[in-house]
Structure 1
Amino acid sequence: MATVLVVAGEASGDLHAAHVIKEMKKLHSELNFIGLGGDKMAEAGVDIIFDPTELSTIGFVEALKHLRLMYKVLNQLEEVIKEYKPDVALLVDYSGFNLKVAKLTNKYEVPTVNYFAPSAWVWGKWRAKKMARRQAKIASVFPMEAEVYREAGAEVNFVGHPLLDIVEPELTSEELACRLNINSDSEVIGILPGSRKQEIEKLLPSMLEAAEIIAAKRKKVEFVLPVAETVSQQLVERIINNYQVEIKLISGYSYAVMELARLLLVTSGTATLEAACLNTPMVITYRTSLLTWWLGKLLVKIPYVGLPNIIMDREVVPEQLQEDVSGDKIAKSSLEILNSDNYYQQIKQDLSQVVTKLGNEGATQRVAQMVLKTGGVTIDWN
């Protein structure tokens, strides 16, 4: 029985890895999975050595407090590689840690596929060169990623982005509106402050301040906040109680909220691409520690934070970053979109172009095939 080592470190990586694992099982009936990941990977049948998803943080400085633990986990992973001698490794996102894992898999001659590779087009081409030297094949999800890694000497397959397969509203807009008792003539604004406690604490208060301002300026507006599985609803409620605006909470159903909403206030990350897939205009926010921000300014090679803007290499949707994350500024950007039909429609057109650049549907299956072929595992095409 072939053994597949899978390593993912955040909620999104855990989810993407689980989807690939399910596709691999369809292609080959006898596979053994072991690795690092969260609940989604465990449900997909992975023997989990350690779950790092609850440790995920934003920024250089914030990650330092987990450094000693992660080196301990890395040593444990090396012992697992020596014991199980996996046929192939799938490394998903979790760039800093997985660069080190790729060094191990190269050392022990484990063929490796890197999915959601380190963002070399953002942080510098040295990351691409490092991964290439470690013989990892790249399953590329972005066109600019494929270009950078090919230039670095890596073997690259542009598989496209899996969100094209994954993003589908859990309820129709009518069903969600009925469940939340939203009037048919209301203008819905979705609030998506992120999937980490750190993001909720840093960004939700400013989003709520913006909601207060928007509610005073727009008639018949209603706000909906889908609470991520990884976030405490009690924490969200405690913050909301400090503001004079009604927020309808719902557990999960983020895609349904995105589709129903006319506009989203959203934290930078995968959610911005999910919103693009549903063609919903948004205002992107991002804030981290001051030291991390300045380190990032020194290292980052692009002028944008939001993925739709990075992909288009221009500002498709407004970004409010760091010291500009305030209720006033988020509300100002939001009202500019809501008050101008021309601006609103232009954003929707631009978001359609973003989705076009993400490739074609079927990315998850293409990655599964790539991993099995890399490991020399026969694919059952029946």
Structure 2
Amino acid sequence: MLVGADNTSDRFGAALAQKLTEKRPEGVVFGIGGPLMADAGVRLLYDISEMVSLGVFDSLKGAHIVKRLIQRVSETMDEERPHVMVQIGLPLFSLRLLEIARCKGLSTMYYYTPLSRGLVEFKTERFAGLVDKVIGISKFETESCQQAGISAEFVGHPLVDLVRSRRPVEEVRAELNLKPGKPVIAVLPGAREVEVKNVLPTVLRAIGQLRKLKLDCQTVVSVAPTVRKSFVDQLVSKARGIDVVVGGDTGDVLDAADLAITSIGTVSLEAALMGVPCLAVYRVPTTTYLFDKLFANKPRMTVVNNVLEEQVVPEFIQSEFGLGRLVDEIVRLLTDEAARQEMLGKFAALPEQLGEPGSVDRAAEMILAAAAQREE
């Protein structure tokens, strides 16, 4: 059983499901996830796409939905009797599901824990008593778990397998209907509409200011699978004085980019791995932000900064997300070659933290080994 609750969990879960099926075609993989997991052959008990888009898992109003999901998962454990439950992400109701699975005799494993995203105040003592094994995707996460007495093994980050080599810039720009010879700013504003609504208009206004500074750029906005393109089109239609293309998957948009403006999540790490200078933005309603802070006291909010344990990518969070500073930082990272190279030099340290290719394969082997033990 695989259980994921956000866009990144869906992506990592899909890669994991494909490997599990390749290695054991007769096995059954089911659980909670999104369209990518469904496409990978996971029999979904619940599709979380709409809830992710609306930010249900990050707000108090989603508590009753979470309660129903937990009940559904518990009932399915009784009906299907899986050997292993693998949780992927799930910052909100992770420990409750682990408690239920442990009581029912399942092997409990965790892939992409809150610690992998820089959560430094986590109920590690309780967590250690509920999880059989953490499948570590970063060295920081693995070492943090081991120091807390949690059984953890480092396999490497799935993005090392999922991020492809960059394609020729002009080829990708032609496919995206971008003009040759003009700098391109890629905007990847988040996987939830509440994020996109609060971030994208300000980002587009900042880019619009560049022409006054004699910087003639073009912009491409990537739309996450959990966000309606019509919703993004409506926001973009209100922008004035800038060339904007909406569309293209994450990889293509980053291939085309001279600079990326990303959300604070995994996409910031993807940009860094692809060698694209970037800055990170995040603004949501105050209640959602405060709720997030209850669960995560993060010295740095952006995933790539947490992995590097250093403030490499400039962060624009909530009240610090101001138009003037944003414009200044965009200009700096477009025009100051020394600043760009300094950032890319810091990104070069990522492979040491994230491990070698083949991480998803190694994770699948760990899960199958745990399942085999339960079968005996």
TM-score, L = length of structure 2: 0.92
Cα distance change on mapping 1:59 and 1:127 into 2, 3 Å = farther
Mapped contact 1:189–1:223 kept (Cα < 8 A): yes
Partner deviation per Cα, 1:294-348 (whole Å, 9 max, x = no partner): 5656764442111222222222121111112132221111112223211111011
Give the match for residue 11 of structure 2. 15
Q: 2:95 aligns with which of 74, 93, 99?
A: 99
Give the match for residue 324 of structure 2. 328
SS in 2 for 1:243: coil
Which is worse superposed, 182-191 or 203-212?
A: 182-191
C-alpha separation in 2, matches of 1:246 and 1:132: 51
Alignment of 1:353 with 2:349, yes or no, is yes
Cα distance change on mapping 1:24 and 1:349 into 2, 3 Å = same
C-alpha separation in 1, matches of 2:15 and 2:93: 21
Alignment of 1:83 with 2:89, yes or no, is no
C-alpha separation in 2, matches of 1:272 and 1:177: 21
Give the match for residue 146 of structure 1. 142
Which is worse superposed, 149-158 or 37-46?
A: 37-46
Q: 1:108 aligns with which of 104, 107, 120?
A: 104
Question: Matched residue pairs, number?
Answer: 374
C-alpha separation in 1, matches of 2:304 and 2:73: 35
C-alpha separation in 2, matches of 1:76 and 1:323: 39
TM superposition shift of 1:125 = 4.7
Paired amino acid for 1:23: K
Aligned runs of 1:189-228 on 2, under 5 Å?
189-228=185-224
Cα distance change on mapping 1:53 and 1:267 into 2, 3 Å = same
Give the match for residue 240 of structure 1. 236
TM superposition shift of 1:64 = 1.6
Query: Where does the alignment leave 5 or more consecutive residues of structure 1 unmatched?
Result: none
TM superposition shift of 1:169 = 6.0
Q: 1:167 aligns with which of 150, 163, 166?
A: 163
Cα distance change on mapping 1:299 and 1:200 into 2, 3 Å = closer
Give the share of equivalent positions with the same residue, in percent.
25
SS in 1 for 2:349: helix
C-alpha separation in 2, matches of 1:261 and 1:121: 25
SS in 2 for 1:68: helix
Aligned runs of 1:1-382 on 2, under 5 Å?
5-56=1-52, 62-119=58-115, 122-168=118-164, 172-294=168-290, 300-376=296-372
Mapped contact 1:268–1:284 kept (Cα < 8 A): yes
SS in 2 for 1:223: strand
Mapped contact 2:222–2:247 kept (Cα < 8 A): yes
Paired amino acid for 1:144: F
Mapped contact 2:233–2:246 kept (Cα < 8 A): no
Which is worse superposed, 124-133 or 197-206?
A: 124-133
C-alpha separation in 2, matches of 1:7 and 1:13: 8
Paired amino acid for 2:92: G
Paired amino acid for 2:83: D
- C-alpha RMSD over aligned residues: 2.3
C-alpha separation in 2, matches of 1:297 and 1:103: 24
Cα distance change on mapping 1:53 and 1:211 into 2, 3 Å = same
Which is worse superposed, 74-83 or 282-291?
A: 282-291
SS in 1 for 2:164: coil
TM superposition shift of 1:127 = 2.7
